[in-house]
Each structure stands twice: as structure tokens, then as C-alpha cells.
Chains A and B, each alone.
Chain A
Amino acid sequence: MKIRTSVFASCVLMAQVLGIALFLRGFFPAPVKSAVPSKSTLSDRPAEPLTGGCSMLRPSFTPPITHSVVIMLVDALREDFLFGPHGRANMPYTRHLVEQGSTHSFVAKARAPTVTMPRIKALTTGSIPGFIDVVMNLNSPALLEDNLLWQAKEAGKRIVFYGDDTWVRLFPKLFMEHDGTTSFFVSDYTEVDDNVTRHLDGTLKREDWDILILHYLGLDHIGHISGPRSPLVRPKLQEMDDVLKKIHGSLVAKEAEGSPPYLLVLCGDHGMSETGSHGGSSEPEVNTPLVLVSPAFRRKAGFQQPGVNSVGRLIPAVVEETPLRDRLRYLQLNGHQLSCLLRDSVAEHHREVGVEQLRVAEKSHGGWMKLYLEGNTSEVLGNVGKKVLRQYLEALASMSSALSKQLGKYDMYSMVAGMVIVFQALSGAALVDVPVLPALLSLPFYLLCLLLASVHVLVCTSAGASCYLCGLSWGLVFAGVAFASATLCVLVSMATRRIPPGPKIAAKSGGGSSSGWSLSELDVLLLVGTAGHTLSLAASSFVEEEHQTWYFLLNTLCLAIFQDVCRKYFREQRRPGGLGEDRDARGHHPSDAPLKTGRVRSRERWLALATPPLTLACCRLMRTLNQTGVQWSHLPGMGHWLNSSEHKGALSLVAALSLLLVYVMIQRRCSWVSRVALALGLLGVYSYRAAVGNVSFPWQRGGQNVSKGTVEARFVYIFVLGILFSGTKDLLRAQLAAGGDGRLKSRGLWEIYCGLVLLVALLFRAHNLPVLCCCLLIQTLMARFIWRKLRYDAAQTTIMHYWFGQAFFYFQGNSNNIGTLDISVGFVGLESYVEAPAIFLTALSTYAGPLLWAGHLVCYLNSQSR
């Protein structure tokens, strides 16, 4: 069967997409579901042992310890802000409460991803959200799972909420009263909190609520702007401390008037890293303080080391003041919950140690209840009770560890299957004659079918693994198995057909080792570098520091190109002495073979020689602009320096200069209409940055009002659309013209590229504009003096573009950590959050580097093929 190359290539592409989808399905496993399908009710709870259904002595639920609850959630409250050495200065009142008051304080561990919305979900549902929830972070739909607030509402509690409007979107209709604050204007850190605090006085005086939730965003915003060591942090923490003092004071006053006991909870949803971002799983991001204040707790004498609690377990210290009977009841209910969760997520849950321990504990709980109901008040009762308590705690501990083990599991089978498909697709070549029939009739095909089917059966029956693939119907599985083995056979037969000619050709050409498969040093570097980078991803710290790998490879590539250039230009008669000497010391020498290429103008030659060193210098500069990664991210970069308010003048100068250079470099190949549009657009970019307050015009003197810059951004959007339109028009005209007009086509492509550049210039932060400028500079110089002059072929240029694109992804300040994602870009030129454009703009600005290099590759290859 013969098929066309393009069809084959698209088949390969389809297989690739399928493989990746399957891999992702395995990587993001379905989250652990609660035992109760929907929302649980009171009747789902197990009865207290021995009292059975006919409990006349007391109601089926224990009385609450507290009646009114105030939850004060401070976004990005790091553990050491309160418990650290500066805690006493940061939050004096809270620290005093922690040390002397009737409080319990803990260090709470937040699971990655440490992003607000998944953390709120975790706090209210008790589940552990996955990375897939981060995608939903921008646009949170209503929470349908069983959660704390819903249960409280069902129990007739009245909830009041002020703060981040994510809560309002997650729990619509649950709040008696609410006032949401949008969290997307990261530069604002006073108004978001004033919005919450202004309600406080009125609400605290009223009596008509049971639960009050406050979510303060200011600290998180300060972290995003200037990091945890910013001078803004302490005043903000002191403000939070005052709020807590006010709440506590009013609650104490109420209690004095005879109100039932209260509970005040201070917690953070996640911490912040040394750069002020969050999302990853480093220590400072994960650890948050949790302080429970209530008169129901024992008064403490001194500062205790805050404890660390664990997944899904009741904190025994919190209830230690309640009667033993209630405590046992709490533990029993907690154990029941965990065993339900285990039943759902682990196939052989009966064999778990924890479940067994729970059963034993429940039995002895029954024994204790018997003693208790008999009115036994002797020491025996206390001792037995303590033993039961210990048994329960042990059971809880082992069940909780079993659960957390379950959570870290991936669907390995799906992942492997996906990877196999991807590799099959990768190994497919671009040819053409596909031997389907003979492959289908061969013996290996059937053997492979049998093998794969047996593997499938083996994997699915063993260990009760819950994989996605095992849930498929048998027909589908068999079809998949047959298809996979057919592809493998076809590929193998194609490969065997291709291999034999190799040696023959080599033999024919005779002796010359440089024929056929010969690779230059540059080829070797490109292949080894790409393969080596792929291999390095197996180590987690190389993934964290991937930018280092790319910078390193890029530098080596530049040096290799430099050596190539030297060889080309020094092959002709060398000038005596001169510039080449210090380079010669390295061993990169031209050879003095006879010149072939003819006379090259000396200016061009020196420019060509200067290009690789210039590229190297640019890369070194950009590398200091943004520090990314994990290990060295705390080092201050040039970006921090430029962004601080004292250096606004320097930032303005740099931004203006970069925009000017961008214009100079890309306007040459555009039509004059696009040139004008481009100039106006770049002016618009600068005035947008000035409006937002990042840069200033020279005639502005302080005291400017900061706006959202919507008008300016939209002004730029119009020019972007105009340039894109003009480019598309040129492309279409070139297609329609007889035989295709090459010049028109390349101009059209270039104008589309210009539109992209203009859009990226708008989206990049002001201190990143030099990155854009360097990107264009390197592209221009490389294309003009290196790729064309040294006649690198399409494959080499493509790989080089790929390397540059990857490196620029990191030069922009991105990393493999989700915390460096800049979502504020989604609001450029928009009044409020609109999903589609926000996602598009965020993705565009994040992947601007690779995209620009891909765009340039298209333009370059097109201009070369003419």
C-alpha cells in the first residue's frame, strides 16, 4: 500500500497526539472520591457503640464545643512570618496569644499545587486537589462536592463572607451575606484588604451570624510585587495583627456578656517562596501557620513548638478539654470517614492494617461504653478509655498514611502505553511505501497481539490497579492491541528495509569515510545536545534547573558557530596579526587552504565574526535579567533592580531603547503602511506601560495617576490586527497570483511576524523588553551573516531555532514551576475577566520565546526556498 508523505506524516501526528492524551490521562488520575456519592447527611453516620439506635440518654450527635466561628484566612501567610524570629515584631498580639493565650498553634502543610483556588477547595472539602485544578483556577465553577460550608448551611448555620471572590464563585447561595473582592489586580494591596475590614465593625456587633469568613489578599499581592523580604510586608502583617486583635477583643467582650464560647481560626492558604511567588512545593511555600483561639482550650504557660498535623486526622489536642466520651466519639467518626475513603480508593481495603486496627478499637470502645453506662467511675474506666483512645489514634495514623500513599500514585499503565505510542510515532520516517498486508500476514504480528493482550490481562487483574485502560470494553481493547502490533510490525519492516542499503552505499563510494553519513562537529553537537537534554530530564533537579541546560547548550552552540565562521573567513588570506590571536589561543583555528568563496567584503566579514560573540554577550545579559529555577531563584536579578521604584528612569530608558531597536530591526521588510502602523503601535506600547505606571514619560513629574491602561492597550490591539490583516492580504494575493509571487509571500509572512512581535511587546513586562530586542537582534544577525553565508541546511537551522526558542522561554523569566506563570497578562486591555482572551493572552506571553523563533523559522525557510 502506497500512501503520500503528507498523509503518513499526519497519521504520525495523530498517533502522537493520541499517545500524549493517553499519557496525560494517566498522569492526572481521577481524584479520590468521597465514599458518599453526593453530600452526606446525618443518617450516614455510624451509631455510637452500644447505644445503638435507641439512644435516649443523649442525642445522636455531640454538642458543639463552640457556637460562633471566625475564620481569618490571610493569603500567602508564611509560617515564619508568625512563628519565625521576626514573628514578635510582625504580629505582636497574635504571637502573644500563641504563647500565653488559650490557643493551639500548628504548622499546616499545604499540598502542591499551592495556588489559592485548589487550596480553598482543600480547606473546605478536605480532599487533595490535583494539578488539573490549577487550570480551573482562573475560572472557578461552583463546587459540587461535599464540603464544610454546605454542611454548615444544612445544619442551619448562618455564614457571612468577606474577601476573595473565588469563594463566592465556589459557593454561590451559601452565604447569608457576602462581599467579594476581585484578586486580579495584583498591583493593589491596600484596597483589597480595606474592602474586607470596612465591614468588620458592623458585623462583629451583630448577633445574626454563626460563621464569619474573612479572606485577606493584600499579603499575597505584596509577595507577587516585591517578595517576602519587601519593606511592605511588615506593615501589612501588623495590619493583619490589628484586625485579629479587633476580632478577638470583640469576641471576648461577647463572651463576657454570656454568649456561648467562640472559635477564632487564623490560617493561610499557602506560603510564598523566596521570590514571592507560589505554586510549587518548596518548604516556604508549603508551610503555613494555623492558630486556633478559643476559651474552650486550656491556657498555656509558654510557647510550645507548633505541631505538625497530618492528612485527614483529627487533631487530638483540640478536643482534649472535652469529656472522654465525646472525644472517643469524635475519633470514631473520624475513623469511619477515613475507612470509607479507603474503601473507595483501595481495592483490598480489608487487608489494610488501619482498618483492622479500627475494628479492634471500635470493639474496645464498645466495652468502654458498657462500663460507662453501668455508671462505673473507677480508675479502670479511665485507663480503659485511654487505651481505646490510643488504639483509635494508631488506627487513624495508619489509615491516613495508607491514604496519602494512594494519592501519590499515577496510572502507570496508561502512561507507559501513551509513551509507547509516542515513540512509535516518532520513529516513523517520512517515507511512504507502507507494507501493510505482508506485515499483517506475518507471524510476529500474531505473536505481538498475543503478547500485548496477555500483558493487558496481567496488568488489569494484578493488584487491582485502577487504570483507565482497564475500564475500556474488551472489543476496543482488542482493536487497540491489534492496531498497535500492526504499527510496530510495519515500522520494523520499514526499518529493516531501510538499513541494508546503508553499508552498500558506503562500500560503493569506497574508502572515503566522509561520504554518506558523515557529520560535522556542529551536527554532532546538535544531535548530542538534543539527546542529552532529553536524557537530563530524567533527573528532577535538571528539570528544576532546565534553563541552565539550555543556556549551557546555547553557549556551546555559539562557540561552535564561531569556530565555523573563523574557519570560513580565515581560510582566505589572513591578515597578518590582528584580531584573531586571542581566539587562536583556544585552538579554534582557520586553515590556510586555498580560498574558494571569492572576495568577501571585509566589513561583512568582521560583522560575521562579531555575531557569535555578540550573541554570547546578549545571552549573558539576558540571563542576569531574570533569575529562574529553584536553587538560585532567590538571587536578585537585573529585573528586580529595574522594577524597584527608585530606578524607574532607568527602566523607562531601557524600555524606550528596546522598542526603538525593535522598530529599526523589523521595519525593513514591511510595506510602508505596516511601517507606520508598527511605529504607532510601539508608541502605544510605551504609553500603555506609562499608563499602568511601570515607566514614565520624561515630561511627567511624579504624582501621576495609575490607570488600567485599557484605552492604550486597545489602541495597540487595533494596530496588531491591522498589520496581521495586511500580512494575510499579501499572503492571499501571493497565492492567487499565477505561479505564486515569492516576494509578496515572504513580505506577507514577515508582516504577520511583525504583528506577533508587536503583540508580544505589548504583553511583555517592561523589564523584559530587552529580551524581545535581543531576540530580534540575534535573529537578524544570525540570518544575515551566519545561516545564509555558511549555508546551514534546513535541519540544522531548525534545530538551532528550537534551541534558541527553548532558551528564550527561560530568558523571559519562565520556569518549569507553575508559580512563575504571569496571569496578569490576561487582563491587558480588558475591563474584566473574559475567559477566552485571557487564556489566549496568557499562553501567548508565556510561550512568546518559542513562538517568535518558530515564526522566524517559517519566514527564514520561506525566504531560503525561493
Chain B
Amino acid sequence: MNVNPRREDNCFSFFPSTFNLRSFCIPIMWDHEIKAMASSHAIIASSVFMATVVPAVFIRGFSVYGTHLLWLSSVTGAVSVVNVAVFWLLGISQPTKKHTIGYKLSRLVRSCLYLLLSCLFYHTVVVLYGAPLIESALETFSLAVLLTSLTTLRCLCVLGPNVQAWIRVFSRHGAMSVWDTSLQITVACSVIGAWLGAFPIPLDWDRPWQVWPVSCSLGSVIGYLTGLVVAPAWIHFHRKQLTYKCK
């Protein structure tokens, strides 16, 4: 049998990096960064909460199960707007050298393109997983849009429309700042949440949340919220071991 030599070298991973002995900078104290992250995450999480509660006041008969599509769109919208606003205010993304209008415009167009591609990608994957192809296509696509707003949009906010940077962040030992680590954690949590959310569908309990795609979207939102809580905590407790490569 073949012995597998591939394990040693660089491996891409969902799991955040813990050790890197090869090259690292002197650890900086990231206390203020962690604080900023925790507060921004709190804002985002509260936006999800508000997106669930506020429409119930204005719209008659609004509920998470009953008017699921409405809830999905409100959560998606709230998360997108708050994410963009928070990260724009914090100024996390890489400072760009050029400030011409044309460059900014091309960045914007590329971002929109990536978002669209990511929606299509998620939709395809969900259909391959067994979602009905034609009937309830709208529900499936809403789920894809939700997943995009939870994962891809955040990538765009933190890293910009820069595929190289994305590849770097999502390969093992690729995180270069606490924001990269938190991005890894939240993205992994949302995707795994959506994945786990599919499990109760075949059970014959006849509950309202077993209807497609309620359990999956609930799973991804819960996973996302978990990620938001876990990321600062994890970074805080591992700050001694965490080392980041120099930029």
C-alpha cells in the first residue's frame, strides 16, 4: 500500500491554526482588537435578533416558520447592511494604494460578481444535496442568498475582492490577523450549521421547522451566531499560542 507523504506539507483547513513554528512575528497584544471584535460581533448578533423581532411589530402574522421567506430576507438584509457598515467603520480591509474612482468602481463590480457567483454556487450545491430542482426553487435560492450573506459577504468585507487573499486565509496556517481567524471560525460555523440543519428533515415528527428550508436556514443562522460568540472567546483564550506571519 502507499504510504501517504502528503500529510506533512501545507494543508488547507477549516480549523483555525494553532501552531506555526516556521516564521512568526513577535506577538503583539491584541486586546483592543479583541475588544473591537467582540463589540462588532455583538452589534451583528443583535442585528439578527432585531431582524427577527422588529418585523413582528409591524407586520401582522409574522413568524419564523409561518412567513419564513420574509424572515429569511429580513435577516439577510440586516446581516448584510450591518456587516458592511461595521467593517467600513472599523476600516479592517486592506488599505488600498489607489484611490481613483475607476479602481473603486471595478472593486465594486467584482464584489457584486463574486456575490452572485457565490449565490449560484450555494444553490447548485444545495440542489445536488437533494433539494427539489423546480418546485420551491425560490426557497432554495433564498437559503443560498442567506449563506452568501453569512459567509461570502464577510470575506468581501474583511479581505476585499481578492481571491489570493481568500485562498491564503482558508489554507492551513494562513491567518495573518485576529480578523482572519475570526473569519475562519464564523464561516466554518455557518456552513456546518446549515449542514447539520438538514439532519432533522427526514424525521417523521411533522413539525413546522422540518419544512424545507426552515431547518437549514435556522441551522446556518444559529451556527453563525455561535461563530460570532466563539471567535472572540477562542482568540482570547488562545492568545498565548496564536502567532501570525508577518505581512
Contacts and interface: CB of A to CB of B under 8 A. Distances in A.
Interface of A: 511, 513-514, 518, 520-521, 539, 541-542, 544-545, 548-549, 551-552, 555-556, 559, 563, 567, 570-571, 581-593, 596, 616-617, 619-620, 623, 629-631, 790-794, 864-865
Interface stretch (B23-31, B64-72, B98-106, B121-129): B121-129
Contacts of A571: 10
A552 B130 contact: yes
Contact of B163 (A581, A619, A620, A792): A581
Interface in B1-47: 1-14, 18-19, 21
Given A559-B125, A581-B114, 14 more contacts: A514-B8, A544-B202, A552-B130, A570-B167, A583-B121, A585-B121, A586-B118, A586-B122, A591-B10, A591-B168, A591-B172, A620-B130, A630-B204, A793-B1
Contacts of A541: 202-205
A521 B13 contact: yes
B53 to A, nearest CB: 31
A582 B113 CA distance: 10
A590 B12 contact: yes
A620 B168 CA distance: 32
A849 to B, nearest CB: 18
Contact of B1 (A587, A591, A865): A865
Contacts of A589: 12, 166-168, 170-171
Contacts of A791: 2, 4-6
Given A617-B128, A619-B128, A864-B1, A587 B202 contact: no
A513 B18 contact: yes
B95 to A, nearest CB: 23
B202 A591 contact: no
A585 B7 contact: no
B151 interface: yes
Contacts of B229: none
15 contacts: A511-B21, A548-B202, A549-B202, A552-B199, A581-B114, A582-B120, A582-B121, A583-B121, A584-B166, A585-B117, A587-B166, A587-B170, A591-B171, A620-B127, A864-B1
A582 B121 CA distance: 6
B71 to A, nearest CB: 24
Contacts of A511: 21
Given A551-B130, A589-B166, A563 B12 contact: yes
A762 B241 CA distance: 62
B152 interface: yes
A857 to B, nearest CB: 13
Given A513-B19, A541-B203, A793-B4, A590 B167 contact: yes
Contacts of A631: 202, 204
B13 A623 contact: no
A785 to B, nearest CB: 16
Nearest to A635: B132
Nearest to B204: A541
A864 B171 contact: no
Contacts of B79: none
B202 A793 contact: no
| In the A-B complex, the 4 residue pairs with the closest CB atoms | A591-B171, A585-B118, A545-B202, A589-B167
Given A582-B117, A616-B128, A620-B130, A587 B10 contact: no
B166 to A, nearest CB: 6
A42 to B, nearest CB: 50
B187 A587 contact: yes
Nearest to B165: A589
A591 B167 contact: yes
A807 to B, nearest CB: 12
Contact of A520 (B7, B152, B187, B199): B7
B129 to A, nearest CB: 5
B214 interface: no
Contacts of A563: 12
Interface of B: 1-14, 18-19, 21, 114, 117-118, 120-122, 125, 127-130, 148, 151-152, 155, 163-164, 166-168, 170-172, 174, 187, 191, 195, 198-199, 201-205
Contact of B203 (A514, A539, A567, A592): A539
Contacts of B167: 570, 584, 589-592
Contacts of A570: 167
Nearest to A797: B1
A596 B7 CA distance: 13
A617 B199 CA distance: 21
Contact of B152 (A567, A585, A588, A793): A585
Contacts of B128: 555, 616-617, 619-620
A177 B32 CA distance: 97
A651 B181 CA distance: 53
Nearest to B164: A592
A559 B195 CA distance: 12
A588 B11 CA distance: 12
A571 B10 CA distance: 9
Contacts of A623: 130
Contacts of A567: 11-12, 171
Contacts of A590: 12, 167, 171
Contacts of B6: 790-791
Contacts of B201: 548
A138 to B, nearest CB: 31
A14 to B, nearest CB: 27
B10 A548 contact: no
Contacts of A592: 164, 167-168
Contact of B130 (A513, A548, A630): A548
B2 A552 contact: no
A859 to B, nearest CB: 15
B129 A544 contact: no
A6 to B, nearest CB: 18
Contacts of A542: 202-203
B142 to A, nearest CB: 17
Contact of B204 (A544, A555, A583, A596): A544
Contacts of B166: 584, 587, 589
B114 A585 contact: yes
A514 B117 CA distance: 35
A585 B153 CA distance: 10
B77 to A, nearest CB: 20
Contacts of B114: 581, 585
Nearest to B14: A521
A347 to B, nearest CB: 36
A738 B10 CA distance: 44
Nearest to A556: B195
Contacts of B170: 587-589
Contacts of A559: 125
B108 to A, nearest CB: 17
B48 to A, nearest CB: 21
A631 B11 CA distance: 41
A617 B187 CA distance: 25
Contacts of A551: 129-130
Nearest to B113: A581
A38 B191 CA distance: 65
Contacts of B118: 582, 585-586
Contacts of A588: 12, 170
B207 to A, nearest CB: 12
Contacts of B199: 552
Contact of B129 (A518, A552, A865): A552
